[in-house]
Amino acid sequence: MQKWVRVSVAVLLTCLLLGEASAQGALKKRLAPPKTPKGQCCDEVRSLKVQVANLTSVLEELRGKQEADLMTIMRQMMELDQLSRRQEERVTEAESKYSEINNRVEIIQMQGAQAHTRTSSEALYDCASLYSRNYKISGEYKLPADDYLGTPELDVYCDMDTNGGGWTVIQRRKVGLSNFSRDWKQYKKGFGTIRGDFWLGNEHIFRMTRQPTTLRIEMEDWEGETRYAEYGFFTISNELNSYKLFIANYSGNAGDSLRYHNNTNFSSKDKDNDKCVDDCAALRKGGYWYNCCTDSNLNGVYYRNGQHNKHSGDGITWYGWHGPSYSMKRVEMKIRPQGFRP
Ligand SMILES: [Ca+2]
């Protein structure tokens, strides 16, 4: 369209010039008998001039329209950009909701069992106490708040099957969509989804391990093999003492890769309490009892099958089994009182 107009203008301008030239020629050859009458020529020039003026205004109009079109396109591009950003946000949201949806399959068990919680022997403060009250099915339970013990209401996952049951799960990695590079506060109160990936919370772990406690760590690799490490003694100190780890009495077939972390403080991405010049929580991208830095990194980055052995030391590692460059497919950490009898 534009090109056509430009060509037309060029043709018209040529005509105009030719017209004027011929008019001048006519003047020069005044003596020669005129081939066309003078009035007709001037009329043609005038009408051509009018046409040029018209075309110029059409051109200007077109230029204006073009600018408006450009603005519209710019606006549309910005809208598209916003749309894609919103879609990205939606994907992130969907990812975080995935584990919840994935795990809403079973109902929360036990609702009526919250009535009689007068004394500590009757209190339901972990899965072992639920087990002793005949709740023997593995799954999600809601522990009631207890004024006597000063404990809050808490959602827990109980493993009532493994090696006699009574286990309160304090950590799980299996879905791989939750980020475990979190700050001190989040590690303190816990995060994630109780049926998916989660950290129960250092404050809850501290409270539950004030009685003599056993820790069991189960892992699965990408070939489907499973191993475990058990510590007959496990406790952590309070927040003032940076939830320092104490473990002893290893048994199992995964190797003793928590021993190196014994007697170390808990570190998170905003609290470097490790025994290293480096910032281990930042390097290993988790919250853990970092020494300098790791012999295991159970709260590291979840890597999928294709990348599980291509990470840079920040994966979910257990050196005693697969070394420093193999990230596990699945991990569960669980605790129960030492004196537990099924
Ligand atoms: Ca450090």
Q: Enter the DSSP assignment of 231.
A: E
Q: Enter the DSSP assignment of 243.
A: T
User: What pLDDT, on the 0 to 100 scale, is given for residue 85?
Assistant: 86
What distance in angstroms lies between residue 272's CA and the mean position of ligand 1's atoms? Answer: 5
Are 55 and 12 in contact, with CB atoms under 8 Å apart? yes
What distance in angstroms lies between residue 329's CA and the mean position of ligand 1's atoms? Answer: 28
User: What pLDDT, on the 0 to 100 scale, is given for residue 8?
Assistant: 54
HSE of 263, CA atoms in CB hemisphere, 13 A: 3
pLDDT band at 194 (very low <50, low <70, confident <90, very high): very high
What distance in angstroms lies between residue 293's CA and the mean position of ligand 1's atoms? Answer: 9
Name the residue with higher pLDDT: 290 or 30. 290
Task: Provide the Cα torsion 306, 309, 311, 313; round to 10°.
Answer: 160
What distance in angstroms lies between residue 278's CA and the mean position of ligand 1's atoms? Answer: 4
pLDDT band at 6 (very low <50, low <70, confident <90, very high): low
HSE of 237, CA atoms in CB hemisphere, 13 A: 14
Instruction: Pick the range with the lowest mean pLDDT from 8-22, 42-56, 116-130, 206-220.
Output: 8-22
CA distances from 227 to 59, 79, 160, 165, 332 (A): 79, 52, 19, 17, 11
User: What pLDDT, on the 0 to 100 scale, is given for residue 23?
Assistant: 46
Residue closest to 126 by CA, chosen among 154, 161, 107, 162: 154
What distance in angstroms lies between residue 319's CA and the mean position of ligand 1's atoms? Answer: 21
pTM (2 decimals)?
0.67
Q: Is the pLDDT of residue 97 over 80?
A: no
The first and second tokens of residue 103, run together, are 């795990």
Q: How far apart are CA 318 and CA 323, in angstroms?
A: 6
Residue closest to 336 by CA, chosen among 152, 190, 132, 117: 132
Give the pLDDT confidence of 146-173 residue by residue, as tens digits: 777 778 899 999 999 999 999 999 999 9
Q: Is the pLDDT of residue 16 over 90?
A: no
Give the pLDDT confidence of 23-82 residue by residue, as tens digits: 444 444 444 445 555 566 788 888 899 999 999 999 999 999 999 999 999 999 899 989
What distance in angstroms lies between residue 264's CA and the mean position of ligand 1's atoms? Answer: 12
H/E stretch holding 2: helix 2-28
What distance in angstroms lies between residue 244's CA and the mean position of ligand 1's atoms? Answer: 15
Are 174 and 300 in contact, with CB atoms under 8 Å apart? no
